[in-house]
Structure 1
Amino acid sequence: MGGEIMAVAMVMAAENAVALRCVGEFGELDDAELVAAVSAAHRQAARAQARELEAIAELRRRRIAAEADGDPDYRVLTAHESVVEEIAVALAVTGNAAATLVHVAERLSTDLPATGEALAAGRIDLAKARVICDLSDDLPDGIAERAEAAVLDKAAEQTTGQLRRRLKRIIGRLAPDAARQRTRDTVQGRRLEVWETGTGVGNLSLLDLPAEDAHAIFNKISAAARGLKGDGDDRPLDMIRADLAKGLLNGAVLPDAVRAVLVQAQAEPGEQSDVAPAAAPVETEVETLAETIDERLHRVRHDARLGRRVNELPRLIGRAVRQIQDDVAAQRDGLCQGNEPQHGHPSYRPPAELRREIEARHATCVFPTCNQPSRRCDLDHTRAWRPGTPGITCRCNLAPVCRRHHRTKQSPGWRLHQIWPGLLVWTTPSGAWHIVRPERQ
């Protein structure tokens, strides 16, 4: 064991030496040294990812241990869910990506310690660790460990695809019934998803179909596309397949879809006429206020650390945010009320015009990493609505919040403040803060 530790230490020292030499000096290295630098950096990144997962696992362990016993309240998040949201905002990743990290962290710290050790040593990267975690999930007792031990010896030399195929074969031999049941369970979650890309187009995907159905659909469309290709359509086969699929999903029968694709292939491509309007600039007052909030909260964190009051940080941050909110309350309410005889609306439900205004101000849920369109969200009162209280129905107290993050807002340790109409501050159970600005005013 001592010899292995010494060998690992020597390798890490050599890699650090290569990395240090390469900082700002790539032009002085030969090709072999550059490849060595790439490999060293990749292994160092894997070690950093292992540390990240270890920290996530420890945070999850603490929160689970601190969670109160008894029946869970459906109105708030569980400790696990709360950690997922906290990691999402800390890393600025989606909730699904954060859930994956938390799940992998938990598996490596409990069921798959050898995979965690391989990642920490830089022998595999996070992508390969995820393959092992995903394919060994929900297996009978002892099978995951046996499968892990069987694949780790060659994992460093394999791509993720090769590792996945090998692991599937091994699991199929060790637990054939469990493998078949997992396939059936996965098919039960089949779905159609749509999302927009950064280039102004949209993607549509059928997920978790039975493999035979997915191949049958693809082969049928491919056969028709190749027929069109043979009839003189000189466009790429992928483009023809996409146009056929679009026509079929829009309700056309196959012959009509084929004719439509032929007509489209002969037509000259038109220019896009729908140009997205330029985003309105953020008002100076809002931006200045956001910067002031950030500066004051940084100062609170700095003072807390100097005074060794880190454990009180969530309370101190929350108090500072409320103080800022109180400082600007009169100015905010006056601006929001304008020339109206009363501030806000007396009823709980906002009028349609106000809802449209709030949805235009925030196109998505105001949780920092959420992409749920605001039209599908609850129009939430930041301060709870009660007649005669500050929780009025008004543009300075309403924001779109999806159902999941509505529960987040009500969970222990989480707080949401609306300092200015559309300018919100989330505070997390660990005392971090995240400022959300209005997208349009």
Structure 2
Amino acid sequence: MPIAIAAPPQTGSESSNRSPFAIAQDGLAGLVDAAVQARRLEAMQAAMRVDVINLAVDYAMRSADAFTAPSLSPERRREVARRAVIAELATALRIPERTMTRLVSESWTLANQLPVTLAALRLGDIDESHARVVIDETGDVADGSVRARLDLELVERAATMTAASLRRAARRLRETLQAESLEERHAHALAERRIELEPARDGMAWLHLHLPASDALLIRNRLDRVAADVTGETGEVSAVADARTPDQLRADVARDLLLHGVPPIGEAFHVAAATVRPTVHVTVPVLTLLGLDDAPADLEGYGPIDPEMARRLAAQAPSFTRILTHPVSGTVLDVDRTTYRPPADLARWLRVRDETCRFPGCNRRAARCELDHTEGWADLGSTSFDNLAHLCPYHHHLKHESSWSVRHLEHGTLEWRSPAGRQYVTGPSVRIPARAAPDPTRTERPDPVDPARSRGGRPPKTPPF
């Protein structure tokens, strides 16, 4: 059913006194609100489906005597009744039984183990993709109290996150709550490493490798760097002229290495591949590195890793950059700069802090983004951790060329304001604790207009129209 959006009535004087931007903002805000309400209704319908599926399965199992052969044992009757109702639902909804089995399992989990998530879904506060993240990230948590804590905290975070961002946050949160050490759980997971083949359309297939995160990230980064070198994205002269896209190059290089041992596309390409050294950042608490603590480290692009892997990477792998944090405050010293271009040490730390583009909902890796001065350098903004953030090229342009605006809050948090007047807050991947006292070596650029001007953020921009 179409939704009609009616603008509030205005008198002639009210209309004439309002700017074109204010009028346009109100109209856009009404349409965005309508889209949000439509998404909320979808979430509420998903919750209704969860309730109906649970009722149907429960009813079939309670009525197992009527739906199964009398010669079966009571336990077998319940199992067959469950299979029968799954087949019934799959046939009625025209979806595969395997998909229906997953929906039945998820519905039971929400109803019996994740009451906060189900309640939020019923209210439309989260959508189905957020609920699936909570299900996935709590599925192997045996401790009921830990699962309840995750249920509560992940729903709170889901209110301001995309499902992809929530999944990254969930991985970090669950590592801080589980009693079994990350090293023990990694050892169990390592035993399940494998390769899976997934058929796709048009004569294609996916090849999945389940292996340690550190190996996976090094492989991906090596493919990224080789592809960038060939296409000239690194800013240097391309080693080999090639018309393929970076995605095609990464796939072809991986295929050739697995099939032939080398990428057979020319001598120059072999040289480029041999000289590329991928880099991954691993943030290690210094006491963990010294073996005095077992606090997890953080692998860029993945999340928490066990202490033993962190020590090995920090000590032996030249392709990993160690970023040591203070054992008490976690602060990084000497972060303020008075030059436009951030120095290498500051840029590395900001890349780890942000992990992705800092625009709401964008998950493009920080390594492929640009460092942006929140308060422009020309507007006397400083080159410091509390005035810099990663933006992908698309959102970098959007910030400067549209009425989207942003200001820096404490600890690397950004507050965005949209053209429709809505506010969004994005937090850093790794939080920088506030300094206990001012740094006496810190210097400021003089402000000839107002020496008392705050550096906490830039004011909202004047709309460009």
Task: Name the structure with the higher helix share.
Answer: 1
Which structure exhibits the higher relative contact order, with contacts defined as CA atoms closer than 8 Å and separated by 6 or more residues? 1
TM (norm. structure 1) is: 0.47
